[in-house]
Amino acid sequence: MNKPLLAVEQLSVSFNHRQTVVDAISFVIYPGETFALVGESGSGKSITALSVLRLLPNNARLSAGAINLNGDNLLKRSEAELCKIRGNRIGLIFQDPMSSLNPVMTIGSQIEEVIAIHFSLPKQAIKQRVLELLQQVEIPEPQQRINDYPHQLSGGQRQRVMIAIALAGKPDLLIADEPTTSLDVTIQAQILALLKTIQQQTGMALWLISHDLALVSTMADRVAVMQQGKIVETGNTADFFSNPQHPYTRKLLNALPSMDSCLAHAVEEKPLLLCVRNFSCYYPIRQGIFKRIVDYVRAVDGVSFELQQGKTLALVGESGCGKTTLGKSLLNLIPASGGQVKINGTDLSQLTGEPLRQQRAHIQIVFQDPFSSMNPRMLVGDIIAEGISALHSAISLDQRKEKVRQLLRQVDLPEDSALRYPHEFSGGQRQRICIARALAVEPKLIVCDEPTSALDVSVQAQIIQLLKTLQQEKGVSYLFITHDLAVVAEIADEVAVMYQGKIIEQGSVAQVLTRPEQAYTKKLLAAVPVLKI
Amino acid sequence: MIILWTDALIFILMAIIVVLAFYMRGQAHIKRPLQQIGSSRIGMVSLVVLLVFVLIGLLDSLHFKAGDEQKNEIISLLDYWATPLRERGEKTYSAPFATTLYSKEMMTLADGSRQWDYPRLVFGGRHLDDPETQRSADIVQKGLYGFMQGAGLVAFCMLLSWGMLAEQHKRFMRGSTAKAVWAAAFVLVSVSYALIHLSVYYHVLGTDKVGEDVFYQAVKSIRTGLVIGTLTTLIMLPMAIIFGILAGFFRGWVDDVIQYLYTTLNSIPGVLLIAASILMVQVYMANHEEAFTSVLVRADMRLLFLCLILGVTSWTGLCRLLRAETLKLREMEYVQAAHALGVKQGVILLRHILPNVMHIVLISVVLDFSSLVLAEAVLSYINIGVDPTTYSWGNMINGARLEMAREPIVWWSLSAAFVFMFALVLAANLFADVVQAAFDPRRSGNE
């Protein structure tokens, strides 16, 4: 093989002299290749990238044998010399394009800024280069877009601008830190295709940092797996996925939800639980000094579906399609604008005040973000008991405590968790607490609003397994809102695809995932990165 | 025993604190943050300093009628103990530890001749025959004597508590925090003893324009500072919290009404409002002379109204902050989950919103406490602050203001007020920092 572009030897990073985040790792990246660093959150993969560019936070301490870029040891370079390397020799793309772009500068001037730092060009030439870059990242009508502000662009376009900024210095190496995590599947596919095209055009090396093994298998030439600050396995993509060596790698691969599992679901008729007819939820658009309502945003627009007892309906769609609004307005957390929601024959949309409060026991919700869905100042025991004391006030304190212990056992948490605060738990454990809280009032239906998308792959698999077990034990139904089709295959009995506030396709999971009828569903399925073995 | 209005409020406040302390002792999950405060060196040292200030303030709040009936003078326990300081006035300015006045005067000597010289003080350094030679040695000797007394007292307390503690509790005494607390107590008590002992013979911080002891003034001002800081906060807090949270949580017309209220109130210049209400109180007191017989009662009424009106004008800032925070919190998923669980709105407000805005309340209370002590000084400057007869740091600074232009400069009034104010505000700020860190679960986890 030829000479490596970047060679990192024995890199260690620790915080506050105690916590070692990156533990003596070594790897090389060759010119023109795509190298993927894979690991779960907290494994130290982003810190590794930042430490190569020496962009670590102040309380971090870096020690390394050498970080060689083209044979030039970056550790021996001063801060001023590193500034010339950042952006010029090594480009960087972050996960969230919105917070990486300055909201009060036009995208044109943000790209110009980078070009002006690294190349001394006349003004006209810089302008020309900006247009070239915008064309290169396939932004339509770059002449007009150049004067747009970040908020005027869509998420995918913003990430394209970020790529343009990273490319402005003509780098030899582009570091992409979870470049598509905050994007929808279809857009994710476009961005990945764009990165590939640019790599072929410029011949630069791409260092991809990701937690998504399926994505990595489609993109990378070589893969390294990181676990708790150490690289546990490195190899060519083909070997890596067909013959994983390390037990942790195998665990990761096994935890991946598979699209094939949908065929295993048994079809069996059960009594009807939830019946939604012509349900809609509009947000008014107000204008003028009198705040007149001029139009509505039709977040949910005439949706109808049914759900049987003990079954799971997955609601699939991209961000902004109204699936979360639908979930929340079913619980009356967002006022509905019309239609009917019947649960066990009771029409919820007719109820207000006290009767509505009593009916809330039937339908519960588990949110996406396990960090913001629990009051940080309440003990876990009180969080779980809250619903019991609100809806079943007749239950005595001792019985309530016993019930909390029982719920904690059911979600596989130690009983003494009740006397601890939410921040003492990991993301997966918190999601278990949220599930226990929802179960406490013995609901018939739980709306799961992307319960696994904030979690790591292996934890995600555990939570899905837990939800399945609970469904078998208690016969509870789930309305499972997600954008992840692989998870859908794993858990759902039926699927409804939402697009712009409407359900465009509905059916059993096997039918929708294997024989989609609508073009949009086909596009969604095609965009899902599938593990290539 | 005479109970003034502010005295009553102070003792009610103390009672609330004691009850709260007892309530918190029984709560298992509050124990941890309390232990964290207890193990913080800065927190405990600033608590010791604060407690000394509070103790002086409390002593100064126990009022009773002094000696004979004719004088009709109301004094506090502190005044009683500091009677020598209170009554030994000089003619005019004298520097700290001085034995003579600050400026030369024409004196008539015993033989009838007249001389232009610094006259001896009536009380300061009276016991010395030849101040020039004896003074330094005398100050050191008396200071050391007082210091040793204080040191002895602390050492005695230390030994006593060591002897009385059971064996398993002795580890509390060995920790670095306990050492810091004892060291702080040692320094504070010994220095106070030295100052008290010296102040019998000298004016340790000098005297002011009318010859009053500045040390006495500064100590008396502690109560005024504490009253303005705490009572105003007490008046302001309920309004700010209730209005802020209601506006943010319910939005709609409730929000509109509360916003109109505070924007209107905010657009009236605060100084005008304060001036108007102070004038009203004065007119009221002039019309009802029979109810306000002594100077002290009048001054106290004015102080109380100053607190009231400062409270009424200063809640808007905190209210705005709380409204914004509540707007954010009500969209949090745990609030939505509570809605979904059928928890009643009042309970959501108390259980989910209020505890999560308390850190803002705590920070702004401490910042306001400091700025209120300072505001008192500014208001005294334009004569709408506390009564001119009330001892306060503001009045001291106001009085010393003109003397800054004097040559040689009269610096002690200003410095004394500054040092006392600085110590109080710094201790309060540091303590609040520690309290806040301990009661915020998100921060206590990683520290």
Q: Which of A138-142, A287-291, B39-43, B422-426 has the lowest mean pLDDT?
A: A287-291
Nearest C-alpha neighbor of A94 from the set A174, A185, A28 = A174
Residue owning tokens 């004094």: B75
For residue A420, the distance in angstroms to the closest alpha carbon of chain B comes to 8
pTM of the predicted structure, to 2 decimals = 0.77
Interchain CB distance below 8 Å, B337 and A376: no
Assigned token pair, B357: 């805005």
Nearest C-alpha neighbor of A311 from the set A492, A485, A436, A466 = A492
Q: What is the pLDDT of residue B172?
A: 65
The DSSP H or E segment spanning A495 is: strand A494-499
Q: How far is Cα A235 from Cα B332, in angstroms, rounded to an integer?
A: 44
* C-beta atoms surrounding B402 within 10 Å: 10
Q: How far is Cα A82 from Cα A76, in angstroms, rounded to an integer?
A: 10
Residues A241, A532 contacting (CB under 8 angstroms): yes
Q: What is the pLDDT of residue B70?
A: 59
Please state, in angstroms and as integers, the Cα–Cα distance from residue B235 to each residue in B176, B264, B386, B428, following that order: 39, 19, 17, 19
* pLDDT band of B209, cuts 50, 70, 90: confident
* pLDDT band of B447, cuts 50, 70, 90: very low
Residue owning tokens 């601890």: A420
pLDDT at B32 over 80: no
- For residues B73-95, give the mean pLDDT: 82
Q: Give me chain A's average pLDDT, please.
A: 85
pLDDT at B74 over 90: no
For B344, the closest of A376, A390, A440 (CB atoms) is A390
Q: What is the pLDDT of residue B385?
A: 82
Q: What is the pLDDT of residue B68?
A: 62
pLDDT at B445 over 50: no
A304 SS3 class: strand
For residue A290, the distance in angstroms to the closest alpha carbon of chain B comes to 15
pLDDT at B446 over 60: no
pLDDT at B24 over 80: no
Q: How far is Cα A58 from Cα A55, in angstroms, rounded to an integer?
A: 9
* pLDDT band of B277, cuts 50, 70, 90: confident
Assigned token pair, B113: 């001749």
Residue type present at position B425: V
* Residues pairing with A293 in the sheet: A286
- For residues B358-377, give the mean pLDDT: 78
For A423, the closest of B334, B352, B441 (CB atoms) is B441
Q: How far is Cα B158 from Cα B153, in angstroms, rounded to an integer?
A: 9
For A373, the closest of B337, B339, B442 (CB atoms) is B337
pLDDT tens for A1-15 read: 578 888 888 888 888
Residues of A in contact with B347 (CB under 8 A): 390
* pLDDT band of B170, cuts 50, 70, 90: low
CA B328, chain centre distance (Å) = 35
Task: Name the residue in chain B with its Cα closest to that of A391.
Answer: B342
pLDDT > 90 fraction of chain B, expressed in percent and rounded: 10
Q: How far is Cα A248 from Cα A225, in angstroms, rounded to an integer?
A: 9
C-alpha angle A223/A226/A228, rounded to 5°? 175
Interchain CB distance below 8 Å, B342 and A374: no
For A331, the closest of B333, B340, B356 (CB atoms) is B340
Interchain CB distance below 8 Å, B337 and A437: yes
Assigned token pair, A127: 């302008």
Q: What is the pLDDT of residue B293?
A: 77
- For residues B368-380, give the mean pLDDT: 79
Q: How far is Cα B191 from Cα B211, in angstroms, rounded to an integer?
A: 24
For residue A291, the distance in angstroms to the closest alpha carbon of chain B comes to 13
Q: What is the pLDDT of residue A263?
A: 60
Provide the number of CB pairs (under 8 Å) joining chain A to chain B. Answer: 81
Whether B356 contacts chain A with CB within 8 A:
yes
CA A494, chain centre distance (Å) = 23
Whether B337 contacts chain A with CB within 8 A:
yes
Residues A420, A473 contacting (CB under 8 angstroms): no
CATH fold label, B221-446: MetI-like fold (1.10.3720)
Assigned token pair, A104: 């009060």
For residue A430, the distance in angstroms to the closest alpha carbon of chain B comes to 12
Q: For chain A (length 533 residues), average pLDDT per consecutive 10?
A: 83 80 88 89 84 82 82 84 85 82 88 87 90 88 86 85 88 88 82 89 90 85 89 87 85 76 66 88 80 81 88 87 87 85 82 82 88 86 89 84 91 87 85 91 90 82 90 90 84 89 87 86 81 59
pLDDT tens for B387-416 read: 888 888 888 888 887 777 777 788 888 889
Residues A414, A407 contacting (CB under 8 angstroms): no
pLDDT at B26 over 80: no
For residue B438, the distance in angstroms to the closest alpha carbon of chain A comes to 12
What are the extents of the domains in chain B? 87-199, 221-446
* pLDDT band of B67, cuts 50, 70, 90: low
Q: Which residues are within 8 A (CB) of B293 and not within 5 positions of it... i.e. 6 or more apart? A: B72
pLDDT at B180 over 50: yes
| H helices present in A211-278, as ranges | 213-219, 237-242, 247-255
Whether B328 contacts chain A with CB within 8 A:
no
Task: Name the residue in chain B with its Cα closest to that of A392.
Answer: B342
Q: What is the pLDDT of residue B442?
A: 59
Q: What is the pLDDT of residue A240?
A: 84
Cα radius of gyration (chain A): 26
pLDDT > 70 fraction of chain A, expressed in percent and rounded: 97
Q: Give me chain B's average pLDDT, please.
A: 84
Q: What is the pLDDT of residue A271?
A: 84
Q: What is the pLDDT of residue A145?
A: 85
Residues of A in contact with B28 (CB under 8 A): 419
Q: What is the pLDDT of residue B246?
A: 94
For B338, the closest of A386, A422, A434 (CB atoms) is A386
